[in-house]
Amino acid sequence: MDNSKQPAMSFSFSVSHTDGAARAGLVTTPHGTIETPMFMPVGTQGAVKAMTVRMLEDAGAAIILGNTYHLWLRPGAELIARRGGLHRFNGWSRPILTDSGGYQVFSLANRRKLDEQGVEFRSHLDGSRHVLTPERAVEIQACLGSDIAMVLDECPPHPSTRDAIQASLALTTRWARRCQVRLDQLRDGATIDGLRPTNPGQVQFGIVQGGVYADLRRESAEALAALEFPGYAIGGLSVGEPNEVMYEVVGGVAPRLPAAKPRYLMGVGTPADIIEAVDRGIDLFDCVMPTRNARNGQLFTRQGPLNIKNARFAEDDLPPDPSCRCYTCTHFSRAYLRHLYIAGEMTGSILNTVHNVSFYLDTMRQIRQAISLGTFAAFKHEFLRQLSLKAFTS
């Protein structure tokens, strides 16, 4: 593979404005920059469902997420490496973050077996056996060539006992160190079955665990901070705990992470969740909610979610969100989108997804602007007030 064509930019992060604990900044990666706070649309299998690259670009997406578990099993990490990496394979030339595969493997429940070395599991596709170790998670992501890779962490179920969580985060910390060692080896010229990493500028983020226990979260944050990652994620949230508990954990962990490094809250969440987390110092987010809910006919608006299948929209000529400037809202009515949903037309899923992703990205733009103007508190107050009007609930 010819890596000489890889962009030369290396990873960095700078904070340009703070407003309370909220911060606006810029992440630089080998495939370009990301203004933060930023939301990352999820491209599980190498494509954001029901969107093309051009639609993502038009919606203003700056970075997308790919799922290591899915891409490893199909079409295979080495196949993607032979194509030059995930960017060349899927045509997305801006930054990509990949998760470690751990979250999906641990969600296989009784199809997986954990020990110190790693986790053995059966594929959800064909039942075949695989072993995911911290080193293998690094290798797969090196094949994919994402700009930001995640360390393999154990994701204990919620609720778990304090003892189980404590043992788990200790394992996660040992695994984090092993991930660093393997990435260093690859940077020093080690190969993966003869293949070289497809993105030499790839960096690794550590993941803080610790469940809902403030002291364990602190212990995890400090242990990872000592490993000096280029960025940090908070994992194991949005798994069923009450929203207020999640906000409290985020508020406790974020200040204990190095201020000069980006902070990523994994798998979160609703627009309100994102705003609450930004208010506590988070920079990056991902969630399947905008894309999945779009396919189920739920459209996000400033006045709360609108269920397009509702009969009240059958003759409603307004766009989904009259204040939105996305392709869908500037061209199509609720009546038309309802018809497409009821008729089972794929074009409806496309248009709904375009809107929801645009809505999330526009919200992030407004958040960044408010932080840079020092008006984030007022923005948050007004955003949550409009949501509380619940315009679209019966």
Contacts with a copy of itself, residue ranges (CB under 8 A): 45-54, 70, 74-75, 79, 82-83, 89-91, 314-315, 317, 327, 331-333, 335-336, 338-340, 342-343, 345-351, 354
Q: Nearer Cβ to a copy of itself, position 53 or 225? A: 53
Helix (H) or strand (E) holding 29: strand 22-29
Coil, helix or strand for 122?
A: strand
Cβ partners under 8 Å of residue 81, min gap 6: 1, 142, 143, 144, 145, 192, 195, 198
What backbone torsions phi and psi does residue 104 show, to the nearest 5 degrees? -70, -40
Of 37, 40, 33, 38, the closest CA to residue 17 belongs to 37
Tokens 């179920």 -> residue: 157
Output the smallest distance, CB 68 to a copy of itself, in A.
15
Output the smallest distance, CB 90 to a copy of itself, in A.
6
Q: Nearer Cβ to a copy of itself, position 107 or 333? A: 333
Q: Nearer Cβ to a copy of itself, position 73 or 165? A: 73
Name the catalytic one among 99, 147, 279, 362. 99
CA 218 to CA 291: how far, in whole Å? Answer: 33
Cβ partners under 8 Å of residue 381, min gap 6: none
Spacing of C-alpha 287 from chain mean position = 6
Cβ partners under 8 Å of residue 368, min gap 6: 24, 35, 36, 37
CA 92 to CA 261: how far, in whole Å? Answer: 25
Output the smallest distance, CB 66 to a copy of itself, in A.
12
Spacing of C-alpha 321 from chain mean position = 25
Rg (CA), the chain: 21
Output the smallest distance, CB 53 to a copy of itself, in A.
7
Active site residue 188: no
Are 273 and 246 in contact by the 8 Å Cβ rule? The answer is yes
Output the smallest distance, CB 188 to a copy of itself, in A.
29
Q: Nearer Cβ to a copy of itself, position 204 or 353? A: 353
Name the catalytic one among 153, 279, 283, 286. 286
Q: Nearer Cβ to a copy of itself, position 10 or 347? A: 347
Output the smallest distance, CB 394 to a copy of itself, in A.
21
Spacing of C-alpha 167 from chain mean position = 26
Q: Nearer Cβ to a copy of itself, position 23 or 31? A: 31
Q: Nearer Cβ to a copy of itself, position 276 or 321? A: 321
Output the smallest distance, CB 339 to a copy of itself, in A.
4
**CA distances for 311 relative to 30, 72, 321, 333, 335, angstroms:** 48, 43, 17, 14, 9
Active site residue 286: yes
Are 217 and 241 in contact by the 8 Å Cβ rule? The answer is no
Output the smallest distance, CB 286 to a copy of itself, in A.
18
Cβ partners under 8 Å of residue 127, min gap 6: none
Q: Nearer Cβ to a copy of itself, position 229 or 341? A: 341
Sign of the Cα pseudo-torsion (241, 247, 248, 250, in order)? positive
Active site (catalytic) residues:
99, 286
